[in-house]
Amino acid sequence: MRSLDTPRGRYIRMRMGFLCGVLAFGMGLVLSAGFELMVAEGPAWRELAEKQRQRRLHVTPKRGTIYDRNGSALAVSVEVPSVSLDAVELLRGVAPQKIPVVARDSANRIAAALSLDPAQVERRILAKRRFAWLKRRITSKEAEAIRKLSSSKESGDARVRGLIVEGEGKRYYPRRALGGPLLGFVAPDGEGKDGFELSMNRELMGHVEQLRGLRDRSGRLIFSEGIHDEQALAGHNLYLTLDQGIQFTAERELANAARTFEASGGSVIVVDPYTGEILAMASWPGYNPNDYGDSEPAERRTRGLTDSFEPGSTMKIFTLAAGLGAGVIEPTQKLFCEKGLMAVDNVTIRDTHPAGWLTVSQVLAVSSNICAAKIGLSMGGNKLYDSLLRFGFGQESGVPLPGESSGTLRPRGRPWVQVETAAASFGQGISVTNLQLAMATAALANGGQLMEPIIVKRVTTATGELVREAAPRTRRRVVPRRVAATLAEMMVAVTEGEGTGLEAAIDGYQVAGKTATAQKTDPATGRYSFDKYIASFVGFVPAKKPVVAIAVMLDEPMVEHAGGAVAAPVFRNVARMALKYKGLTPQGTTRVDVASLGSTPDPANAAYDVLRQARGMKPAVQVADPGTQVSAGSVRVPDMTGWPVREAVRRTAELGLTVKVVGSGLLARQTPAPNGVVKKGGNVVLVFEPAT
């Protein structure tokens, strides 16, 4: 101990004290840093560690299925392979100077397997990201090629690490083009586009959650947590009110009419009048959602909702309903039709069929603009406007589909002037959608109640639990029941006798309907066009206790433009199928349908003569004069007297002739005369008149 009191000992004590102080200071720094890392910044470092240790799992929930009313799938999701890249894993252990060479070699091999651009793949490898899609929804052959690259040596080359093949949902539409504009499609990013896929996207796509899990060095998932039931993430299923059988018939008949009469577009809507359920909503042209890239945007819109147009004469049934409901006119009252001409302000209103005194029922049957205008003017602009508004015109229906138009009743901020009131009475100066026409017609069919349109019947979870279900709901009563019944009887006259809708008649049933042939406005001049029309027909069947209400619209038919010739046959064929579907049997005699005799009717067929005799016409005699020779490049014009418009036009087109159609109904006269010889490409004039 004494030695420590010496100068040398004191030096040793000082040095030991200094060293202990330095060690204590260093230990303090270590403890301080440890406290900072583990306590103060612990959560942040732990999160960073988890990010380095774990991998994000790209779990896409299965998209919900869309069914029709009978449970038949219209849109389903199927699992197809997709390939992604972990670039960090691919380049793990590669010397920095060799990375460009390895990246280029791997990119060439991957691109060859997936038919991709090698330069694009190389850029993704050099980005060194943990996750990047290489190609989504690949074929089974491509998937097998990628598995060979990543799992074993191929032709002596080293395997490519970091390639991951996993299942991914792809939308598939088993009915192809059926209901295409209604359903919409799903883009590669999983987002719905157009139709129900867009409007119901959130419910269909499910609950997207980001989950984490562990992957081994090859990128394979070895552990994950957070998914106890895969169905819990899946999207909801939709059950629509559509019936695929009626939808198919509506689309087929609409397409046939559009092609026959060279229309630019059209729509058909079929409604259950008592529930408001939409049984069919067809649009033409349509498209196949499986190949949506081959379609134009105009082909993907639901025309019954998005396209507004001047309704023309179909609006007269609602004007008459409003007049009868307001007591302005009586069912037995006669109106003077001014012999076809009437001046309102500085505008002259004309009738296609000039007449004197007509009953209200005859006004509807011959479609008098003048008498409809008189009824509207008797009510006054405000009352007529309110009545049409109550029928649902000028407002959206609220169906869960994108792009619905509300139409236009009158300019905002001012009432109708007298000439506008008169024009609106017979469907000019206003615009409506085909869905509005269908629902308003259904209101007359069910006794005067405007129903809420229903197109989504119910929504369920992936496990079948009910999320919500639509029930019939009455928006309001638009006319008294007696007025609706009276209108139904008047609408029957349109399809019988001298009415304009004879082509809508169905054997064994009374059909209530109304035709319309509305001129379109020319945007260049602001005036009505002389060659562009909207042909439409609305109605319901049977007239008493109807089961369906149908609205048909064809835009710009060129071969013929009369609603009775263009749209009425579509109504007839769709309604006939719907009646069979409902299990109804016709009462009374059977009407011979030319369409059932083949696309080119044979006048020698006895059944065809029955039709002609039933219409009060002479049996067809088409016997060519054996002494008359037909030279090369010429054809003989057959006797088509009594044929309906569609069959006569189709037959004439098959002969290579140019046809001009005048009137509607059945063929009364033709030029050249029957059995005449005409050069191919020559003109044939066909004059049609309603059968009596």
Q: Which residues are catalytic, by number?
A: 313
Q: Do residues 60 and 232 lie in contact, with contact meaning Cβ atoms separated by under 8 Å?
A: no
Angstrom CA distances, 639 to 64, 285, 613, 624, 667, stand at: 57, 34, 15, 10, 10
Q: What are phi and psi of 496, to 5 degrees?
A: -135, 165
- For tokens 């009191």, what's the residue? 5
- Helices 118-126 and 99-114 cross at an angle (nearest 10°) of 130
Rounded CA separation 101/475 (Å) = 71
Q: What are phi and psi of 194, to 5 degrees?
A: 65, 155
Q: List Cα–Cα distances, 539 to 335, 464, 494, 577, 603, in angstroms.
A: 24, 38, 10, 15, 31
Q: Looking at 542-614, which runs of residues are DSSP E strands?
A: 548-555
Contacts of 21 (CB under 8 A, 6+ apart): none
- Quick one: which H or E segment has residue 688? strand 683-689
Other Cβ atoms closer than 10 A to 684: 22
Q: Contact 324/375 with Cβ under 8 angstroms?
A: no
**SS3 call for 658:** strand
Going by C-alpha positions, the residue among 299, 307, 304 that lies closest to residue 247 is 304
DSSP letters for 601-615: --TTSHHHHHHHHHT
- Amino acid at residue number 601: P
- For the chain, the residue count is 692
- Residue 85: name the closest of 118, 107, 115 by CA: 107
Distance CA 601, CA 599 (A): 6
Output the six-digit token pair for 345.
Answer: 């302000």
